[in-house]
Chains A and B, each alone.
Chain A
Amino acid sequence: MAWITKNSAGAHIERQSEPYLNDEMKQELTPVVDRYPRRQAASLPLLHAMQEKVGWLPPQAIEEIADFLEVPASEVMDTASFYEEFWLKPKGKYVIWLCQSISCEIMGEPSLTDRVAEFLDIQVGETTPDGKFTLMKVECLGYCGDAPCGLINEDIQQKITPDNFIEVLKNLD
């Protein structure tokens, strides 16, 4: 639910002296910004790039992106908080997204989710204490013909059976 506002008033922002958006990254991303007639339009590509590098989107990184795009930080925060794929808090090393939409549910997603949650000993939306796995449920991933499906970070898993999937998870380091 993208529209639920997150309580951030009074939140302490952790800062580091080294910028997240360093000169090298800026140079790399300048051609991407130039693709658009307005700098703000590069928000999504920049947030994607930042998340790929850092793993999530720290508030300081959002401020730096906003400076680079010459818009207020609140604008970039507004965008980042709207989209499901952007992480405003740290996540596990492996994020498991299990599709819960209609085709996957018919093909056995509920029992799959239960098995995975039991194996990882966490609830949906939580991260394991060692920071290795985060379990998420997500709406349609577009692999309905290969239901049930899921993503482990960026790798699509198709026609999952609980046993095979747990085997895959066991083999991740």
Chain B
Amino acid sequence: MALEQPVLTKRIPTEPWGRHEDRHYVDYNEYVKTGGYQALDKALQMDRTAVIDEIKAAEIRGRGGAGFPAGMKWSFLPPVDGGRRFLAINADESEPATFKDRLLIDYDPHQVVEGIAICMYACQLDTAYFYMRGEYHDQRAILERAFKEAYDNGIFGPNSRLGQINGRNPDLFLHRGAGAYVCGEETGLLNSLEGKRGWPRIKPPFPAVAGAFARPTIVNNVETLACVPHVMENGPDWFKTLGKGRPEGAPPHVPASFGTKLIGVSGPVVRPDVYEEHLGVKMSYCIEELAGGMLPGMEFKAAIPGGISMGVLTKDEYDAPLDFDIGKPYGILGLGTACITVIPEGYSMISCARNLARFYARESCGQCTPCREGTEWLYKILTRIEAGDGTTKDLDLLLEVASSMGIMPGTTICGLSDGANWAVRTIVNKFWDEFEAAVKKNRFVSLSVANNNN
């Protein structure tokens, strides 16, 4: 069932409700005129714990990739002790093929700002840092403008309608990263915020207990916070009518897929863009109906459903539903950011795996040996196979190296190498024939490649 009314893209014209050519920056006045900041006013009338209970009841799961319930994260905060408490907004969005948060920042930043204000009120956080990746240059001016409008209209600053929090005026600042994927990991982000290299920290302590500057900190994704005003305005029951819901027959404590999701489609499709749909929408629907199908002359071969770390879906899995339970039945890591990259027929999966492995080799922060050495090793093996120099043994080695790094085998601090692990392993396993054919090829090929390059 297709989504009837846009939620997050209410003010951002998006097919099928509008044309993306009509998109424009929604300023404070326009935002208020279209019902904005009412959710904040409603929240301010309520008790702080009641606001957290609403978010908990709506079961919003984090939209940044991990899918951790936001309300639960908020309730992990220790009791107020008079010291400072922080909010860090994760807009690092460096996962290849992911570009959904940019849509919210570009056109409707006040929606996010409202979510930030509600979160700060409910969790009693006095300062929010909007951590945005350094490569988003245009978005810097947009956010600075939106933040200024928010200050001028009494959302933050000395005249804030949130009142004083922890004895301070609530503040929202932009903090720009400088080009490091690992800073999207929440503790890496906190280290980067503290002016250090973006090395992820060992957990526990979790950020809610000791995060930025060793004080309680909430780290939330942009899209997660953008969902918050809608829940406050329409109530958790309304939110739960959206999305696929709980898996059939599952008890109520099993995390479910409620709400809508921004879905980016990229690759050789007619209309690559960000769309909004129910969680649980079929991938085929996103590619064919929303993005207009494949470009003429192109045929679908495979797709990476949610940022490259999640793994790959084949032609047989074309109808996979994009919800938080996608992982197990389809043998991938999870939903991730739900931004689909379509891989066309004719593009080698070995090149694809090599591209992904290079990404992790380049972005590994170098803290844990299995990741620092392993990602580079995977890249070397895949480059070798691509050049025609691979052996059958290389495939075994590849799988062994891949499966021994990450949080799940328990050898690294953060999940970066889990991404490398799953991306490479699912591609090799699901396209085994292609890899096998490549390693069995005549080995003179590589010499001719080498000669051509010289």
Interface residues in chain A, defined as those with a beta carbon under 8 Å from any beta carbon in chain B: 1-4, 35-38, 40-45, 47-48, 69, 75, 78-79, 82-86, 97, 100-103, 105-107, 138-147, 151, 154-156
Which B residue sits closest to A156, measured CB to CB?
B138
Q: Which one, B150-158, B241-249, B340-348, is touching chain A?
A: B340-348
Give the interface size class of chain B: 35 or more
| Cross-chain contact of A145 among B99, B135, B347 (Cβ < 8 A) | B99
B274 part of interface (Cβ distance < 8 Å)? yes
Contact B176 A147 (CB under 8 A): no
Say whether, besides A85-B134, A141-B135, A102 and B96 are in contact (CB < 8 Å).
Answer: yes
A sample of 27 cross-chain residue pairs with beta-carbon separation below 8 angstroms, ordered by A number, consists of A1-B364, A3-B365, A3-B367, A44-B192, A44-B195, A45-B175, A48-B134, A48-B176, A75-B196, A79-B196, A82-B198, A85-B134, A102-B96, A102-B304, A103-B267, A106-B267, A106-B343, A139-B94, A140-B94, A141-B135, A142-B133, A144-B339, A144-B341, A145-B266, A145-B273, A147-B266, A147-B267
Q: Which residues of A contact B133 (CB under 8 A)?
A: 142
| Cross-chain contact of B372 among A3, A43, A84 (Cβ < 8 A) | A3
B197-221 contacts to A, CB under 8 A, are: 197-198, 213, 215
Say whether, besides A3-B366, A85-B179, A40 and B196 are in contact (CB < 8 Å).
Answer: yes
Distance of A62 from chain B, by nearest CB (Å): 13
Our count of residue pairs bridging A and B at CB distance below 8 angstroms stands at 160
B362 part of interface (Cβ distance < 8 Å)? yes
Q: Which residues of A contact B135 (CB under 8 A)?
A: 85, 97, 138, 141-142, 151
Most A CB within 10 A of own CB, among B266, B268, B274, B339: B266
Contact B96 A103 (CB under 8 A): yes
Contact B134 A139 (CB under 8 A): no
Which A residue sits closest to B137, measured CB to CB?
A154
Contact B341 A103 (CB under 8 A): yes
B156-210 contacts to A, CB under 8 A, are: 171, 173, 175-181, 192-198
B293 part of interface (Cβ distance < 8 Å)? no
Contact A83 B180 (CB under 8 A): yes
B429 part of interface (Cβ distance < 8 Å)? no
In the complex, what distance in Å separates the CA atom of A73 from the CA atom of B297?
57
B136 part of interface (Cβ distance < 8 Å)? yes
In the complex, what distance in Å separates the CA atom of A38 from the CA atom of B9?
38
Q: Which one, B280-288, B350-358, B412-420, B435-443, is touching chain A?
A: B350-358
Say whether, besides A2-B365, A101-B359, A79 and B197 are in contact (CB < 8 Å).
Answer: yes
Contact A1 B267 (CB under 8 A): no
| Cross-chain contact of B136 among A45, A97, A142 (Cβ < 8 A) | A142
Contact B213 A102 (CB under 8 A): no
Contact A145 B272 (CB under 8 A): yes
Distance of B73 from chain A, by nearest CB (Å): 22
B97 part of interface (Cβ distance < 8 Å)? yes
Contact B359 A139 (CB under 8 A): yes
Contact A86 B178 (CB under 8 A): yes
In the complex, what distance in Å separates the CA atom of A140 from the CA atom of B94?
6
Contact A43 B266 (CB under 8 A): no
Most B CB within 10 A of own CB, among A4, A82, A145: A145
Q: Which residues of B contact A43 (CB under 8 A)?
A: 195-196
Beyond A1-B362, A100-B358, A139-B362: 16 further Cβ-contacts under 8 Å?
A1-B364, A45-B176, A82-B180, A83-B179, A85-B179, A86-B178, A101-B359, A102-B352, A102-B359, A106-B267, A106-B268, A106-B347, A138-B179, A139-B96, A143-B102, A145-B272
B308 part of interface (Cβ distance < 8 Å)? yes
